[in-house]
Amino acid sequence: MNELLRQFTLASGQGIQIVQGDLTLERVDAIVNAANSQLMHGGGVAGHISRQGGPVIQAESNAWVRLHGPVSHAEPAYTAAGKLPCRYVIHAVGPVWGEGDEDRKLNAAIYGSLHLADRLKIASIAFPAISTGIFGFPKDRAAGIILETILDFFQACPDSGIRQVRLVLFDSPTLDAFLDAWKAGGLGE
């Protein structure tokens, strides 16, 4: 069962939360998948989402890539969620550590996911720690960028229909990095 550990509400009423648990159990409008540009969901978070949601996620991902080509950092794809308790899966392509310009690419992936969620009229969305697994992005650095990008989005788009962003973190090292970034960002204890 997922556990809410931190929450912060902006003056606009939009909220950010840190949750420890399994992203695929989140009852939100959309979850974000940490995807590769070809949307091949074999391992890590992507593999888990695809297995839990069923074959429709990979089938729709394959169709997306055939129609639109590889997914970029700034322009995520989306599919149905299959058997997951959400409506959509947004497939965000985070950077691989060492490929260059990683901070900007991670920022683009988060910002692009939030813009897509707004276009899809999503009120609640849950993110994993994009790029911090097999893509090797340092957890503490990613945590700061992800939190800052969400806050920047809400500042730039106070009228966004997104009311809640949940950061759903599974393992203790990732959770600790996000809790440290949360505190450093002045969002509370």
Q: pLDDT tens digit string along 145-184?
A: 999 999 999 999 989 999 999 999 999 999 999 999 999 9
User: Does any domain span residue 96?
Assistant: yes
For residue 35, CA distances in Å to 6, 45, 73, 157, 178 come to 26, 8, 10, 25, 20
Task: Answer yes or no: is pLDDT of 189 > 80.
Answer: no
Q: Domain total for the chain?
A: 1
pLDDT value, residue 79: 98
Specify which residues 78 forms β-bridges with: 90
Q: Which of 24-33, 37-46, 53-62, 74-83 has the lowest mean pLDDT?
A: 37-46
What confidence category does residue 102 fall into, taking pLDDT thresholds of 50, 70 and 90? Answer: very high
| List of residues 6+ apart from 52 with CB closer than 8 A | 24, 83, 84
User: Does any domain span residue 171?
Assistant: yes
Task: Answer yes or no: is pLDDT of 188 > 90.
Answer: no
Residues, the chain: 189
Domain holding 43: CATH number? 3.40.220.10
88-93 and 77-80 as β-strands: parallel, antiparallel, unpaired?
antiparallel
Task: Answer yes or no: is pLDDT of 101 > 90.
Answer: yes
User: Does any domain span residue 189?
Assistant: no
The SS3 of residue 51 is helix
Which residues form the domain of 87?
A: 3-181
Measured CA to CA, the distance from residue 50 to residue 41 in angstroms comes to 6
User: Does any domain span residue 104?
Assistant: yes
pLDDT value, residue 169: 97
Burial 165-180 (b: 16+ CB within 10 A, else e): bbbbbbeeebbebbbe
User: Does any domain span residue 35?
Assistant: yes
Which strands make up the sheet holding 3-9, listed edge to edge? 3-9, 15-20, 164-169, 124-127, 30-35, 88-93, 77-80
pLDDT value, residue 80: 98
Task: Answer yes or no: is pLDDT of 8 > 80.
Answer: yes
User: Does any domain span residue 90?
Assistant: yes
**Average pLDDT of the residues in 124-130:** 98
Task: Answer yes or no: is pLDDT of 81 > 90.
Answer: yes
User: Does any domain span residue 188?
Assistant: no
Q: Residue 148: is it exposed, middle or buried by C-beta count within 10 angstroms (0-12/13-18/19+)?
A: middle
